[in-house]
Amino acid sequence: MSTALSIEITGEGPPLVLLHGWAMHGGVFAPLVARLRAHHTLHIVDLPGHGNSRDSAVPLTPEDCVAAISEQVPVAPWCGWSLGGLMALHAAATRAASVPALVMLCASPRFVRGEETSGDSWRYGMSPEIFRDFATGLREDYRGTLDRFVALEAFGSTDAKGELRALRAELFTRGEPAAHILADGLELLETADLRAELPRLSQPNLWIAGRRDRLVDPRAMREATVLAPRARFVQIEHGGHAPFLTQADEVAALIEEFLRATAGNSMESSVA
């Protein structure tokens, strides 16, 4: 098995790395890619066990994934959606010289809520039982469980039917994700806590939330920006968990505006 990952490269202009969410692959970004490729060279990653990286031997952990991706992409901003946000955040916090800007797209440093009995104040995460139920479902009804998950991703959007249709259409276009990797991904979503990395962010970081997102509460993302220097929070009013599917123009415009401002600030700093 290879330690390389499948990374599609398309477009022209300054580079941008895109990282997808659990059970999906880089192809899910098609509406966003169509709007960004005229101005950016996009490096669209298939995470280990997903899409065309299905047979990759890279473990699905932030450090292992970031190390593998960093070997294959140039210095560039990283944009991570959902699970991909954990990878992008870890890259920005640990490899600032290689990741000059960060975009968190419906992603959180911690996906589950804190236990009140332990004094953890992280209030807006999901119940850990949800991820455990999906893990059990993978063993009993693989395809049905994936379908339930993408339905949860689409739920809440003002165009839930369109979002669900798009997610279902992409799910298996690059083959079925490896079952053991999906289980690893659910465990990562349940247990990962990267809040301690937020104060270490030295580069500009943009957090794009969907107001109707039922997987990543916008309030959790807003709280994350309080802990992160140079952070900006933006909320897509009619967006669910995958606003780049149904509000692609708005998401692309936010990313473009942020990256232009970031590039301008970088040039000013280098001149100074």
- What is the set of domains in the chain, with CATH numbers? 7-271 (3.40.50.1820)
Residues with catalytic function: 82, 213, 241
Residue 83 and residue 1: Cα distance in Å, rounded? 23
pLDDT computed for residue 157 by the predictor: 84
What is the pTM for the complete model shown?
0.93
Per-residue pLDDT at 267 exceeds 90: no
User: With contact defined as beta carbons under 8 Å apart, do 184 and 47 qualify?
Assistant: no
Q: Work out the average pLDDT over 168-193.
A: 92
Per-residue pLDDT at 230 exceeds 70: yes
Per-residue pLDDT at 264 exceeds 90: no
Per-residue pLDDT at 210 exceeds 50: yes
Residue with more model confidence, 270 or 66: 66
pLDDT computed for residue 114 by the predictor: 85
Share the mean pLDDT of the chain. 92
* Percentage above 90 pLDDT, the chain: 82
- State the alpha helices, DSSP H only, in 75-141: 83-94, 128-140
Q: Work out the average pLDDT over 255-264.
A: 93
pLDDT one-digit tens code per residue, 104-129: 999 999 999 987 656 677 989 999 88
User: With contact defined as beta carbons under 8 Å apart, do 209 and 216 qualify?
Assistant: yes
Q: Taking the chain, what is the end-to-end CA distance rounded to the nearest angstrom?
A: 48
